[in-house]
Structure 1
Amino acid sequence: MDMSQYLGVFIDEAREHLQNLNDKLMELEEKKEDPELINSIFRSAHTLKGSSGQMGFSTMMELTHTMENVFDALRHQKATVNSNMVDVLLEALDLLESMVDSIEQGGNDKLETMDTVKKLQALLQGGQQETNEAQPAAKIAGSSPADFGLSYTEYDQAVIEQALSQNLHVFETEVTLRKDCVLKAARALMVSNALEDIGNIIESQPSTEDIEKETFDEAFIYVVVTDQDEATIQERIMNISEIERVAVSSVQSSFQKNEGTNELKKKKQVDQAAGSSENHAKKPVAKTIRVNLDRLDHLLNLFEEMIIDRSRLEKISSALENQDLKESVGMLKRVSDQLQETILNLRMEPVEQVFNRFPRMVRSLSKELDKKVNLVITGAETELDRTVIDEIGDPLMHMIRNSMDHGIEHPDVREKIGKNPEGTLALRAYHSGNHVFIEIEDDGAGINREKVLKKAVEKGIVSAESAQSLTDKDIYHLLFESGFSTADKISDISGRGVGLDVVESKIHSLSGTVEVDSATGKGTKFTVKLPLTLSIINAMLVQTGKEIYAIPITSIAETALERQVKVQTLNRRRVMNYRDRIVPLIDLNDYLNVSAADVNEVAGNGDEISRSIVLVRHGDKIVGTVADKLLGYQDIVIKPLGNYLKDVRGFSGATILGDGQVALILDCQELIDVQKKKTFKQNA
């Protein structure tokens, strides 16, 4: 059978299991004896082993099987969790992830695993044997369940007794496959997954390894602990194709199985053969479907074209006095707005998939730096556009590394100043309006204001004169200047003058901002502000000369008519008073080199234009942009400028208006940066 058609599903599910294993292993180091946690880890490894075997990836299956043996030893209390064990298991996870990457790129799983396998086997030394070797001799694959001679170890008996004491059920679930079943191991895996959704499998007959190798005829038994009844178990398993019969018998105690088991089995088999499940109402199940990301991107592209055409219809409708047309366009706008929200929601993904990589990184850095750090994650369910999710990981990593290296002190230093030897690093995400905020906060030493300022002056980033007028936030933001570093020595983690400048550049490319706040001796907080989506936004259209430009509404603080504002000249720069603060003004005609002829032509007959001011903000910085006209708000589709315009500064993209005209989108951060550089230059 050609298994290539299932490759995409296998890769997706393999990544999910690897991520679960990674998360649970980090948790296991803190909860060394949590049976539910250990069982969850074992199930993920077991499922991954089975699916990789079915796909023919033998190296991956063998490595996962060796890992599974370690987890099984933990389940049976034949091994204990320690830091070395977690290190080796994480090393094995890295290998498995590399295999999945190779498979996804058209390769195979044939990587060198011998060293890691030996380390895993060393964890099992000390008396315990592999699970399949520890089973009672009576457990040998046979031709029918009756030949299996199912018996329980002392550990199994203890688990069953504990389950029964908690009013749970223990069932021997005997499954017989149809004689024409092609992939018996795959069907057995589906049965195993169905049972693990509602309980825990504590035993199987034949052994899991024999089931996976298909060294059985048509029948096998799973012993499951669950809070569900027999009918639910039967219904779930019979929903799997190529199942001939299911017989469920209750285990009343670990020493005495239920009387009349054979009669019960026969009755259940007859019931299932007759298809009698009418008396058991089906429970609602959440239905999901995997969709290729390219299809979502194509859907969004089509919708973006529809938005452009909708804008054209709105313009035509406003020009024609036709009530029916206006009503139809209004209805189209309402429906398309709902469709827009639905499509954009399809592209939203939780930041959890980015946050999940950091516990392990913090653990490794803690060892490397000889520090104790507790990572606290909140708001991981917060959703962001997939485009942002794909790009935000590296900037967050740089900031976390900075907090680990520069922020949090060594345990002995923290103790001397009365702090907990273990530092705390908080990673938070939350929604606010049309933005998502991500905060990285540590309780370390904070930023040395004077040291940063001194370095900035030494490197010529700011002049000694202008340095005196900088606020704390201005000074902290100097950390993002290219090549800036306050590290006293260069290490693999920091001190090379790269990192935070890359952070701001990347976040800027995502139309976001990053700010730093700090208190000496108390810690530092990085705050990243990101838009919910990067594809369709609401913007203010402005005209200067003959050209129309767009300003994202998320960057606009306020608008005003120039004649209503008191404009002054300060240091040869035009400024205005805005809520008790002096705000510089940038004339878009000057900024964009608009010719005087174009301005006069728009004005017509030399009349004075009633110009408008749009106050735009980026972080806590505000400037006023002066335009000839404000044309109103409109939903626009952001289109990239392309590689041939990638070096053009001042614009973050372009959009197509309803009349087919192209309008450039002003980059508000660039406007503010230009203003800031001019201020520094003048002060110098």
Structure 2
Amino acid sequence: MDMSQYLGVFIDEAREHLQNLDEKLSELLEHQNDPELINSIFRSAHTLKGSSGQMGFSTMMELTHSMENVFDALRQKKAAADQTMVDVLYEALDLLEGMVDSVEKGGDDKKDTSAIVKKLQALLNGRNGDTPDSRAPEEQPDKAENGNAAASKLTFTDYEQAVIEQALAQHQHTFITEVILRKDCVLKAARALMVSNALEELGTIIKSKPSTEAIEKEAFESSIIYVVVTDQNADAVKRAVLGISEIEDIRLTPYESQLSAEPVPSATAASGNSAATGTRVEKPKKIAKTIRVNLDRLDRLLNLFEEMIIDRSRIEKISSALDNPELTDSVDVLKRVSGQLQETILNLRMEPVEQVFNRFPRMVRSLSRKLNKKVRLEISGAETELDRTVIDEIGDPLMHMIRNSMDHGIEHPDVRRKAGKDPEGTLNLRAYHSGNHVYIEIEDDGAGINREKVLAKAVEKGVVAADQASELTDKEIYHLLFASGFSTADKISDISGRGVGLDVVESKIRSLSGTVSVTSAEGEGSKFTIKLPLTLSIINAMLIRTGNETYAIPMSSIVETALERQTRIQSVGRQQVMHYQDHYIPVIDLKDYLQVPVCADSGKPVAGSRSIVLIRHGDKHIALLVDLLAGYQDIVIKPLGDYLSHVHKFSGATILGDGKVALILDCQELVETQKRNASAQNA
């Protein structure tokens, strides 16, 4: 059987199990007496062993089998978890993750696992050779359940009997299916899984003997009994099973001839009457069905929807011009339905940040040992959802900031003790929604940021002019940490101070249309706050006109709008400013800033008739003077491409309803350019 078609599913499921192992192993030392935790760990290892064997990845299968033996010893309380055991298990986990990465890239799982397998076996040697399989006779599963003995007499609950009789009434077949594995079959549980999957594709498995748990433990010899309800005939069932390797034979018997199949009372009673006994039997609960969808298909769906949004804008414009009531009503329906469709499609791309956050507990533990510090990581809001594109890109910036907090922020235990602090530092990683944005915070209770040290280093490196240093606020000083190549480390290490620091973080976050800010209190700790948009593809924007050009401004960057005649603009030196909330805000004439040519037919705007758009980035504001506010609408962001990558005034482009292209203003660049120009003028 060609298993390559299942490779994508295998990789997705393998990563889910590896993530579960990573998460649960971190709790093992404190909760090793929790049977639910141990069983969860065991099931992940066992399932991964079976699926990797099924896919033919023997090295991965052997390694997970060795891990499974350790977990089974914990389940049987024949071993106790300690730090050594957890470290060895994490080492094995790292190796498994490397194998999955290799397989995903088109390689194989061939790695040298001999050293780690020996370490795993050594964890069991302290139990006097009592391995999970060396149980006393009374502890061994009852193998009388297996083989032909099970086939000779099957018993059914009331519910199982009712399901079978309902199937028979609907002219479906019920087969007592005995599958016999070859004597030399190595991975019996894996083969059993393949058989059950094949049977489930043809119908429904009502019962198995031995039980599913016994099959997973390989607590059977070479025969398994399945009771299958299907609309396929016996030949189809045989072909499906015999197509699996290492199957010796299959024997099918129609249920009608199983006169010895005697129903037994059900363990639970619930709603629904059994046709056979008249007793009430439990109805199966409806389970939400899910399917795995390739991300490329979602991207294609989103691209098609983006084209529809563009055409919708054109239809709206045509409808407005024709002023036809029926057309107007139809356009309104189209807007409502497409709006719901937009929300649904964007939600399909949303994923919880949990998958990013879950990689950091192990990193924090590793760095804690390396730095000889005690750090406790607390995670909250992991269920917060972000666009998949953002999820894929945000991991590295978060890693840099966490490393920075552990290296520069949290002090050594003896230093904390002298300062009256808990020797163990706390690092909080949290996420939450607010409006159309997601905020991610990394907060530590360490030494905080030394304001004077940062400022002195910035002056030394020429990041800030000496005569301007005294005018900077604390927030502006803290933000100097994101300057290119800036570091306050006294010595170079492999954790920080290597010239690849927080400037990388801001660059990446800015590419995601986000911002990052820092607050700190010396001696108490620091907090980095990342603000990210929920999605990067479709946004609500204000359309503005200046000259004969139309531009778009993201609504998330707009504070408010006003008519020019409602404000008082005055000149201070060479800069125009306006009064706003007890502050003077720089005013930029967009026509001059973008050097938009004045066309003869456009004429000169009437004094006071132009509009003001107040925009912000972080805590900085500027006002844009434009000719006309043309309304707002949902727009599709299109990248400018490599040819225009040097144009920094725009973050992208969009296609309007009339088919024309409008550039999207980069508000962050506008604010920062104004700040740089003001600094140059003051100098």
* TM class by smaller structure: 0.7 to 0.9
1:330-361 deviations in Å (ceiling 9; x for gaps): 11001100110011111110010111111111
1:35 CA displacement: 2.1
Inter-CA distance 427–324: structure 2 relative to 1 (3 Å threshold)? same
1:262-311 deviations in Å (ceiling 9; x for gaps): xx99524999xx99799431111121111111111111111000000000
Deviating more after overlay: 97-106 vs 350-359: 97-106
Check conservation: 2:29, 2:81, Cα contact below 8 A: yes
1:34 CA displacement: 2.2
- Aligned residue type for 1:627: V
Could you tell me which residue of structure 2 aligns to residue 267 of structure 1? 262
Check conservation: 2:546, 2:591, Cα contact below 8 A: yes
1:444 CA displacement: 0.6
What secondary structure, in the 3-state scheme, does the structure 1 residue paired with 2:562 have? strand
Matches within 5 A, 1:238-637: 266-268=261-263, 279-595=281-597, 597-598=598-599, 601-603=601-603, 607-608=606-607, 610-637=609-636
Inter-CA distance 680–136: structure 2 relative to 1 (3 Å threshold)? farther
Check conservation: 1:78, 1:128, Cα contact below 8 A: no
1-structure distance, mates of 2:393, 2:140 = 52
Inter-CA distance 147–85: structure 2 relative to 1 (3 Å threshold)? farther
Check conservation: 2:50, 2:193, Cα contact below 8 A: yes
2-structure distance, mates of 1:13, 1:21 = 12
1-structure distance, mates of 2:25, 2:533 = 33
Check conservation: 2:486, 2:501, Cα contact below 8 A: no
1:32-51 deviations in Å (ceiling 9; x for gaps): 33222111101110111111
2-structure distance, mates of 1:571, 1:415 = 54
Could you tell me which residue of structure 1 aligns to residue 55 of structure 2? 55
Could you tell me which residue of structure 2 aligns to residue 165 of structure 1? none
1-structure distance, mates of 2:653, 2:527 = 34
Check conservation: 2:611, 2:629, Cα contact below 8 A: yes
The alignment of Structure 1 onto Structure 2 pairs a total of residues equal to 612
Check conservation: 2:487, 2:501, Cα contact below 8 A: no
1:139-178 deviations in Å (ceiling 9; x for gaps): 59979627999xxxxxxxxxxxxxxxxxxxxxxxxx9743
Inter-CA distance 593–187: structure 2 relative to 1 (3 Å threshold)? same
1:58-81 deviations in Å (ceiling 9; x for gaps): 111000000111111111222221
1-structure distance, mates of 2:76, 2:275 = 39
1-structure distance, mates of 2:72, 2:229 = 26
1-structure distance, mates of 2:586, 2:286 = 60
Check conservation: 1:428, 1:438, Cα contact below 8 A: yes
Inter-CA distance 210–322: structure 2 relative to 1 (3 Å threshold)? same
1:429 CA displacement: 0.6
- Tell me how large the CA RMSD over aligned residues is: 3.3
What secondary structure, in the 3-state scheme, does the structure 1 residue paired with 2:45 have? helix
Could you tell me which residue of structure 2 aligns to residue 130 of structure 1? 131
What secondary structure, in the 3-state scheme, does the structure 1 residue paired with 2:471 have? coil
Could you tell me which residue of structure 1 aligns to residue 648 of structure 2? 649
1-structure distance, mates of 2:623, 2:130 = 74
2-structure distance, mates of 1:177, 1:37 = 35
Check conservation: 1:312, 1:657, Cα contact below 8 A: yes
Inter-CA distance 433–235: structure 2 relative to 1 (3 Å threshold)? farther
Could you tell me which residue of structure 2 aligns to residue 673 of structure 1? 672
Check conservation: 1:373, 1:423, Cα contact below 8 A: yes
Deviating more after overlay: 434-443 vs 5-14: 5-14
Could you tell me which residue of structure 1 aligns to residue 233 of structure 2? none
1:83-141 deviations in Å (ceiling 9; x for gaps): 22111111111111111122222221111111111111121221243322335399599
Could you tell me which residue of structure 1 aligns to residue 154 of structure 2? none
Could you tell me which residue of structure 2 aligns to residue 164 of structure 1? none
1-structure distance, mates of 2:389, 2:476 = 30
Check conservation: 1:143, 1:219, Cα contact below 8 A: no
What secondary structure, in the 3-state scheme, does the structure 2 residue paired with 1:307 have? helix
Could you tell me which residue of structure 1 aligns to residue 160 of structure 2? none
Check conservation: 2:53, 2:190, Cα contact below 8 A: no
Find the partner of 2:223 among 185, 204, 217.
217
Inter-CA distance 180–322: structure 2 relative to 1 (3 Å threshold)? farther
What secondary structure, in the 3-state scheme, does the structure 2 residue paired with 1:288 have? coil
Check conservation: 1:143, 1:216, Cα contact below 8 A: no
Check conservation: 1:516, 1:525, Cα contact below 8 A: yes
Deviating more after overlay: 55-64 vs 102-111: 102-111
Inter-CA distance 589–179: structure 2 relative to 1 (3 Å threshold)? same
1:31 CA displacement: 2.1
- Aligned residue type for 2:667: C
Check conservation: 2:69, 2:132, Cα contact below 8 A: yes
Check conservation: 2:147, 2:225, Cα contact below 8 A: no
Check conservation: 2:178, 2:223, Cα contact below 8 A: no
1:188 CA displacement: 4.0
Could you tell me which residue of structure 1 aligns to residue 121 of structure 2? 121
What secondary structure, in the 3-state scheme, does the structure 2 residue paired with 1:494 have? coil
Could you tell me which residue of structure 2 aligns to residue 161 of structure 1? none
Check conservation: 1:379, 1:428, Cα contact below 8 A: yes
Inter-CA distance 570–515: structure 2 relative to 1 (3 Å threshold)? same
What secondary structure, in the 3-state scheme, does the structure 2 residue paired with 1:28 have? coil
Check conservation: 1:516, 1:527, Cα contact below 8 A: yes
What secondary structure, in the 3-state scheme, does the structure 2 residue paired with 1:132 have? coil
Check conservation: 2:179, 2:225, Cα contact below 8 A: no
Could you tell me which residue of structure 2 aligns to residue 83 of structure 1? 83
Check conservation: 2:564, 2:608, Cα contact below 8 A: no
Check conservation: 2:143, 2:219, Cα contact below 8 A: no
Unaligned runs of 5+ in 2: 151-174, 201-209, 231-235, 239-258, 267-273
Inter-CA distance 416–144: structure 2 relative to 1 (3 Å threshold)? closer
- Aligned residue type for 1:371: K
Could you tell me which residue of structure 2 aligns to residue 15 of structure 1? 15
What secondary structure, in the 3-state scheme, does the structure 2 residue paired with 1:515 have? strand
2-structure distance, mates of 1:29, 1:405 = 26
The normalised TM-score by structure 1 is 0.83
Inter-CA distance 186–542: structure 2 relative to 1 (3 Å threshold)? same
2-structure distance, mates of 1:325, 1:203 = 61
Check conservation: 2:319, 2:331, Cα contact below 8 A: yes
Deviating more after overlay: 353-362 vs 97-106: 97-106
2-structure distance, mates of 1:276, 1:450 = 85
Check conservation: 1:139, 1:206, Cα contact below 8 A: no
What secondary structure, in the 3-state scheme, does the structure 1 residue paired with 2:337 have? helix
Matches within 5 A, 1:26-105: 26-105=26-105
- Aligned residue type for 2:364: V
1:175-205 deviations in Å (ceiling 9; x for gaps): 97434899974574489999xxxxxx99965
Inter-CA distance 75–148: structure 2 relative to 1 (3 Å threshold)? farther
What secondary structure, in the 3-state scheme, does the structure 1 residue paired with 2:579 have? strand
1:30 CA displacement: 2.9
What secondary structure, in the 3-state scheme, does the structure 2 residue paired with 1:364 have? helix
Identity among equivalent pairs (%): 68
1-structure distance, mates of 2:146, 2:74 = 28
2-structure distance, mates of 1:460, 1:652 = 29
1-structure distance, mates of 2:345, 2:21 = 32
What secondary structure, in the 3-state scheme, does the structure 2 residue paired with 1:131 have? coil
Check conservation: 1:551, 1:665, Cα contact below 8 A: yes
2-structure distance, mates of 1:191, 1:441 = 51
1:29 CA displacement: 3.0
